[in-house]
Structure 1
Amino acid sequence: METVRNDPGLGELVTEAWDPAHADLDLRSTSELVALMNEADATVAAAVARAHDALVSAIDAIAHRFEAGGRIVYVGAGTSGRLALVDAVECQSTFAISPGRVVTLLAGGTGSPAAAQEHAEDDAEAGAREVRELTVGSGDVVVGISASGRTPYVMGALEEAGRAGALTVAVVCVAGSELARLADHDVAVVVGGELIAGSTRLKAGTAQKLVLNTISTVTMVRVGKTFGNLMVDVVATNEKLRGRVRRIVGLATGEADDRVDEALRAAGGDAKVAIVSLLEGIDADSARERLARAQGVVRKALES
């Protein structure tokens, strides 16, 4: 949750709104509390849907730079930063993204205690400095995540990224935010006040998670990291994932298990090579060459 600074303007933000109808929250039964949480969560998806056009515009711009070799750099503090960190890490395992292509700058650093991370969100210069240290440039994308849309660390980072020529995106939960004024794209998902006033790890956090899922997933689909709705770039690092790769190749090709196993052995476990090999009736080396010419995109390799 973002810390509350001694700032008279903060209380005017919709993310800090207090609902007097819930003033007796601590007197409610567990059953009532669970129902209230569920009712509040159920409103989040609709708020994300209202940001559809802004998300489409931002993702198209992000995908263009990422496909050209740029990085996606998430910047956040507190809950926002930790959610971004999860998304960045999962891009590596889900889509075989090289380390460093999708990264997160978290106020206070990933190894700091939560209290230290919360304190660090007030340091705008730290955000700017860390963007410089990452040598962010015109080919990169910097996505600033802040429920209030005014976190100094995130604002410092986004401002510096803009000076460096990077594409900048604001993911916020208020309209017309300070962060949005620094960004090329403003994705505002206005979820309103929280069940516990000011606790933006709740609806705002859920909204940010949904938006980050959408940004990373749709970007990866756009740059060819899937074949249909199959994770053909998944990294098989354990038995469960090896089984998943086997199922993916079977679903993509319609081949029997023995043929799938044979193709995967020849492909060194690479699902994309096995799929192209089976669908085109060529050996693994030829399939690998096809994929190299198609920049690793299965659909293009099959059309070549």
Structure 2
Amino acid sequence: MAERSTEARHRHSVGLHHIAPAEALSRLLEAQMAAVQAVHTALPALEAVAEAASAALRRGGKMAYAGAGSSGLMALADCLELPGTFGIPPDRTPMLFAGGAAALLHMTGDVEDDPALAAADFAAAGLAAGDVMLCLSASGRTPYALELARAAKAAGVTVAGFANVPGSDLLALADLPVLLDTGPEVVSGSTRMGAGTAQKVALNLVSVLVGIRLGHVHDGFMVNVVADNAKLKDRAARIVAALSGVDHAAALAALAVTGGAVKPAVLVAGGRSAAQADEDLKRSAGHLAPHLG
């Protein structure tokens, strides 16, 4: 078993309780920046995870998120953004969080040690062979995460294991191991800090690359955005205008024809009928690029 580097002493921990507040903040920020830098070495692994996840979603499967405590919160934060940002239905990206919704208001540590809870959560998620699970544990040996990983592998689900300790159990179990070697925390063992920061950055990268691979990002625009408030409706119109070359009013008119869907609205604004736009997008698997000059 690898030593838990997240529990070791950080060089900036010494004297943290009595140094000037500005110096304390500077030390904490330096550690956060180092955590972000640790993601660099994981880029090839993150690419593999995004490819597997986008392939699963493309064929109608699921990309699940899983974790307990701070790692679970990082997973949840990314998971909740996918429907609005990329238009991916929530039932395609289930979240398995130790303790469920109740734990979001009052997190307790005991739920992450309960294998029966993990088994029940896995069964409720409805994952099947060909799906992908993004499973997070800073230490790489949280019982909840490990039980989920074992259940997923037994069901033929591809496990992408994210951990911050080299040689940890989750990395050994995972089909797609992602090591985010952030080392000791300035507040020893507080993995909501460096480890959590690296996890969230890594998940940001994976989910955006998934969006790109699915055709939901074009030239940096969220072309599959779900426009369910005034800000996003305005954004949708600006996206249509920018990609089609029409003015704002024409972009709004195109969106009205497509029921607010951005991708077909871009093509409608360019002269296609709504039916033709839908047909063209089906042929290109949802990618706009083949239809734009």
Q: Where on the TM-score scale, by shorter chain, does this alignment land: which range?
A: over 0.9
The RMSD of aligned alpha carbons is 1.8
* Residues 159 and 261 (structure 1), Cα distance of their counterparts in 2 relative to 1, 3 Å cut: same
Mind listing any 5+ residue stretches in structure 1 that lack a counterpart?
A: 1-8
* Residues 87 and 122 (structure 1), Cα distance of their counterparts in 2 relative to 1, 3 Å cut: same
1:125 CA drift (Å): 2.9
* Contact 1:109 1:117 (C-alpha < 8 Å) held by counterparts: no
SS in 2 for 1:105: strand
Q: Quick one: which of 266, 272, 276 aligns to 1:286?
A: 276
* Contact 1:94 1:233 (C-alpha < 8 Å) held by counterparts: yes
Deviations 1:220-265 (CA, angstroms, capped at 9, x unpaired): 2111112221101111111111111011111112222232233222
Aligned-partner residue type, residue 77 of structure 1: A
* Residues 282 and 169 (structure 1), Cα distance of their counterparts in 2 relative to 1, 3 Å cut: same
* Contact 2:96 2:125 (C-alpha < 8 Å) held by counterparts: no
Q: Quick one: which of 120, 125, 132 aligns to 2:123?
A: 132
* Contact 1:128 1:158 (C-alpha < 8 Å) held by counterparts: no
TM-score, length-scaled by structure 1: 0.90
Q: Quick one: which of 162, 167, 179 aligns to 1:171?
A: 162
Q: Which moved more, 1:114-123 or 1:216-225?
A: 114-123
1:55 CA drift (Å): 1.3
1:169 CA drift (Å): 0.8
Q: Quick one: which of 22, 26, 29 aligns to 1:38?
A: 29
Distance 1:130 1:226 in 2: 32
1:178 CA drift (Å): 0.4
* Contact 2:214 2:286 (C-alpha < 8 Å) held by counterparts: no
Q: Quick one: which of 230, 242, 249 aligns to 2:233?
A: 242
* Residues 101 and 195 (structure 1), Cα distance of their counterparts in 2 relative to 1, 3 Å cut: same
1:113 CA drift (Å): 5.7
Residue 145 of structure 1 corresponds to 136
Distance 1:190 1:103 in 2: 27
Q: Quick one: which of 181, 185, 194 aligns to 1:203?
A: 194
SS in 2 for 1:200: coil
Q: Quick one: which of 87, 99, 106 aligns to 1:108?
A: 99
SS in 1 for 2:133: strand
* Contact 2:12 2:186 (C-alpha < 8 Å) held by counterparts: no
Distance 1:99 1:113 in 2: 18
Deviations 1:9-42 (CA, angstroms, capped at 9, x unpaired): 79x3111111365231110111111111111111
Distance 1:48 1:70 in 2: 27
* Residues 95 and 19 (structure 1), Cα distance of their counterparts in 2 relative to 1, 3 Å cut: closer
1:159 CA drift (Å): 0.3
Deviations 1:128-187 (CA, angstroms, capped at 9, x unpaired): 232123232112111110000000000000001000001111001111110111110110
Residue 5 of structure 1 corresponds to none
SS in 2 for 1:191: coil
Distance 2:12 2:62 in 1: 45
* Contact 2:165 2:180 (C-alpha < 8 Å) held by counterparts: yes
Q: Quick one: which of 278, 284, 287 aligns to 1:297?
A: 287
Say how many residue pairs are matched: 292
Residue 6 of structure 1 corresponds to none
* Residues 57 and 112 (structure 1), Cα distance of their counterparts in 2 relative to 1, 3 Å cut: closer
* Contact 1:77 1:117 (C-alpha < 8 Å) held by counterparts: no
* Residues 96 and 117 (structure 1), Cα distance of their counterparts in 2 relative to 1, 3 Å cut: farther
TM-score, length-scaled by structure 2: 0.93
Aligned-partner residue type, residue 147 of structure 2: G
* Contact 2:69 2:107 (C-alpha < 8 Å) held by counterparts: no
Q: Which runs of 4+ in 1 moved over 6 A?
A: none
Distance 1:92 1:234 in 2: 8
Q: Which moved more, 1:21-30 or 1:205-214?
A: 21-30
* Contact 1:72 1:101 (C-alpha < 8 Å) held by counterparts: yes
Residue 66 of structure 2 corresponds to 75
Distance 1:113 1:292 in 2: 39
The yes-or-no answer on 1:268 pairing with 2:259 is yes
